[in-house]
């Protein structure tokens, strides 16, 4: 097992500080806009977690792309050493590139077009997303079991937080949107929780894989590749 698996990532404090700052400012401007109507719309649009193409969006996109880069380094090493999990690493790397792109473009919203539901399923894209999550959970079960416990725990925690935010929180968000529209404080606060969970999940994954990508061996598979 690589000694880097349990090693702390020096970038972690920066990730925590940046995430807390982005999340706090995002909620603050939404509350402030309702207390102080004179607050410029440009300030809210720039910092709110409910808007697209702003500071939180680009922070999330960069964070996810950083995950993809670190995973690609591990995948490349896995390929070079003939590691049995190399395809799993590559799928993760490519997947995070796509998720990063989607954060900016919002391609997942097109998945809602075939569905016309209301209430918690107002955002119909959660249906195919839930199916995809279930398929990936099955496909990656043995991969996760093979990882060293510290790394496996971080992967599971990161995945649970990210999916819980991206997919799980879309259910109450859909119900509120269907009932009140997307301009209420309830919508903004639920969306803030969703986006924050995604940022925390991505941050945990990044701080987990960075030490591994900088290690000289694959986590938990050194014996099988020498």
Enumerate residues 6+ apart whose C-beta is below 8 A from 210: 9, 11, 70
Query: What pLDDT is stored for residue 33 in this prediction?
Result: 93
Q: What are the C-alpha distances in Å from 98 to residues 50, 61, 101?
A: 21, 10, 5
Q: How many CB atoms lie within 10 A of CB 41?
A: 9
- pLDDT tens-digit map of 119-158: 999 998 899 999 999 999 999 999 999 999 999 999 999 9
Residue 205's nearest CA partner among 98, 96, 107, 85 is: 96
Task: Provide the whole-model pTM.
Answer: 0.89
Enumerate residues 6+ apart whose C-beta is below 8 A from 62: 100
Contact between residue 210 and residue 70 where contact means Cβ atoms under 8 Å apart: yes
Q: What is the rounded CA–CA span in Å between residue 167 and residue 171?
A: 7
pLDDT at 39 > cutoff 60: yes
Residue 3's nearest CA partner among 225, 174, 216 is: 216
Instruction: Retrieve residue 82's tokens.
Output: 């003939």
């Amino acid at each position: 097992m690589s000694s880097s698996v349990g090693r702390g990532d020096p970038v972690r404090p920066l990730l925590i500080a940046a995430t807390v700052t982005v999340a706090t400012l995002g909620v603050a401007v939404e509350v402030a806009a309702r207390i102080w109507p004179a607050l410029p719309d440009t300030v809210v649009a720039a910092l709110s977690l409910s808007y697209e193409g702003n500071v939180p969006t680009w922070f999330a996109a960069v964070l996810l792309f950083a995950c993809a880069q670190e995973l690609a380094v591990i995948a490349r090493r896995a390929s070079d050493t003939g590691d049995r999990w190399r395809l799993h690493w590559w799928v993760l790397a490519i997947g995070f590139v796509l998720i990063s792109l989607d954060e900016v473009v919002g391609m997942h919203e097109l998945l809602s077009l075939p569905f016309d539901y209301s209430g918690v399923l107002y955002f119909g894209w959660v249906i195919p997303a839930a199916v995809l999550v279930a398929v990936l959970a099955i496909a990656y079960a043995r991969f996760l079991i093979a990882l060293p416990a510290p790394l496996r725990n971080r992967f599971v925690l990161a995945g649970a937080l990210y999916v819980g935010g991206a997919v799980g929180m879309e259910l109450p968000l859909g119900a509120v949107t269907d009932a009140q529209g997307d301009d209420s404080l309830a919508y903004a606060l639920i969306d803030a929780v969703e986006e924050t969970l995604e940022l925390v999940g991505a941050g945990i994954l990044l701080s987990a894989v960075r030490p591994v990508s900088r290690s000289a061996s694959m986590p938990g598979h050194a014996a099988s590749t020498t």
